[in-house]
Amino acid sequence: MTMIKEIDKTYIASTYARKDVVFVKGKGSTLYDENGSEYIDFGSGIAVNGLGHGNEKWLEAITTQLNKIAHTSNLYYNEPSALLAKELISRTGFSKVFFCNSGAEANECAIKTARKYSSDKGYTDRNEIITLNKSFHGRTLATLAATGQESLHKYFQPYPAGFMYAEPDNFSDLEKKVSGKTCAVMLELVQGEGGVVPLDVEYVKRVEKLCREKDILLIDDEVQTGNGRTGTLYAYMQYGIMPDIMTTAKGLGNGLPIGCALFGEKTANTLGKGDHGSTFGANPVACAGALEVLKQIDAKLLEEVKEKEKIIKDALKVCRKVKKITGLGLMMGIECDNAGVLIEECLNKGLVVLAAKEKIRLLPALNISYEELNKGLKILTEVLK
Ligand SMILES: *Cc1c(COP(=O)(O)O)cnc(C)c1O
């Protein structure tokens, strides 16, 4: 496996600063490296493996579909995508779904839809989208432009025009930036990559109200916060708002690539034939898996998310190096000095945690067993004590 690392370095474009480990197997929230060493997984492949590794019912759902047919293209109907769409709609307040393969693609779809909505309504020159500083919306050119981080706007000019950035939780700043050109406001209810920072509920409600008054679309990027991560199926459900478009990906896939944009009443029919598409989108295997993911995220599991959030917070509160804990549900940021060093220390001791800006970020599986949770917390509190 040291050979694998060498081959990787030689042949794969070096866009990632990889940790020095090759994971070869996983079961539940336990990962195994090439030497058979065990790790407790508090990262879930960046909020993807929300139901852990090797989830049996999920495996059965995808392998059953794989044995029937793996791909048909969007020229034809397919059963898993229809059933998944029905499940998504029945469990949210949205009206229609577009399927794609990643978070960035879901956001691209949302951006296109917002612009077409304004154009369909006859608003001239209304194509600007306001996003928030420290947001993260993806790595394609448009979603990078949407991402409110200067450091990510360096090398790839020209970026698609039509994005403005406002200060999170500062309503008057947003109000100032809204103009006759604004067609949408796009935000993450808990900024993930930006440091696991939840937006203020009152702020978000005021933003929604402003959007309604001006027929501006509210786009809710739930690529990371979605699919049970924050303790409700989607985070908007605990903010008391109803976005016009919601995007999600990561946890919906549990390991297979899938993304989607959900459209509310206003935007349900904005995209028509030929306006958007994706060859791999609505893949039957990914959709069959996602349908099983949604089935498993029931009231009981969501209750567990809140219970585990409390257990983690209680364990961390007493650690000397912890300055502050931020986040919502099982999406948590730990403010501390030298997070990078501590993350490395955790890994060496058999615990996988992530970073978000200067913080340690925890994204354990929603169904992590209490035994695994305690094992992981033992290592984490030792490192942070
Ligand atoms: C990860 C993420 C994305 C990008 O998703 P990809 O699947 O990597 O394209 C977009 N928005 C948010 C909030 C994310 O966390």
Q: How many angstroms is it from 132 CA to the middle of ligand 1?
A: 15
Which atom of ligand 1 is nearest to 135's Cα?
13
Contact 47, 224 (CB under 8 A): yes
Residue 1 has pLDDT above 90, yes or no: no
Measured distance CA(269)–CA(221) in Å, rounded: 20
Q: What is the pLDDT of residues 202-261, one digit of tens each?
A: 999 999 999 999 999 999 999 999 999 999 999 999 999 999 999 999 999 999 999 999
Q: Which pLDDT belongs to residue 139? A: 97
E runs forming strands in the chain: 23-27, 30-33, 38-41, 96-100, 128-132, 163-166, 182-187, 190-191, 197-198, 217-221, 245-248, 259-263, 324-328, 331-335, 351-352, 354-356, 359-362
Average pLDDT score over residue span 163-170: 98
Structure-token pair, residue 98 = 């577009």
**To the nearest whole number, what is the mean pLDDT of the chain?**
97
Q: What is the pLDDT of residues 345-369, one digit of tens each?
A: 999 999 999 999 999 999 999 999 9
Question: What domains can be seen in the chain, in order of their start residue?
Answer: 3-54+299-384 (3.90.1150.10), 69-296 (3.40.640.10)
Which atom of ligand 1 is nearest to 222's Cα?
13
Q: How many angstroms is it from 223 CA to the middle of ligand 1?
A: 5
List ligand 1's pocket residues with C-beta within 6 A.
102-104, 107, 136-138, 188, 192-193, 221, 223-224, 249-250
Name the residue with the closest Cα to ligand 1, atom 10: 137
Torsion of CA 80, 83, 85, 90, to 10 degrees: -160
Contact 150, 93 (CB under 8 A): no
Q: By percentage, how much of the chain surpasses pLDDT 90? A: 99
Q: How many angstroms is it from 137 CA to the middle of ligand 1?
A: 6
Which of the listed residues 191, 196, 224 should we mutate to test ligand 1's pocket, taking the one with most ligand atoms within 8 A of CB? Answer: 224
Which of the listed residues 15, 108, 137 should we mutate to test ligand 1's pocket, taking the one with most ligand atoms within 8 A of CB? Answer: 137
Q: How many angstroms is it from 279 CA to the middle of ligand 1?
A: 20
Neighbours of 268 (CB within 10 A): 15
- Of 95, 25, 80, 99, nearest to 247 by C-alpha is 99
Q: How confident is the model at residue 2 (pLDDT cuts 50, 70, 90)?
A: confident
Q: By percentage, how much of the chain surpasses pLDDT 70? A: 100
Average pLDDT score over residue span 325-330: 98
Measured distance CA(279)–CA(163) in Å, rounded: 28
Q: What is the pLDDT of residues 263-314, one digit of tens each?
A: 999 999 999 999 999 999 999 999 999 999 999 999 999 999 999 999 999 9
Omega before residue 158 within 30° of 0, cis: yes
Which atom of ligand 1 is nearest to 249's Cα?
7
Contact 75, 235 (CB under 8 A): no
Q: Which pLDDT belongs to residue 319? A: 97
Neighbours of 81 (CB within 10 A): 24
Average pLDDT score over residue span 34-52: 97
What DSSP element (H or E) covers 205?
A: helix 201-214
Which atom of ligand 1 is nearest to 143's Cα?
10
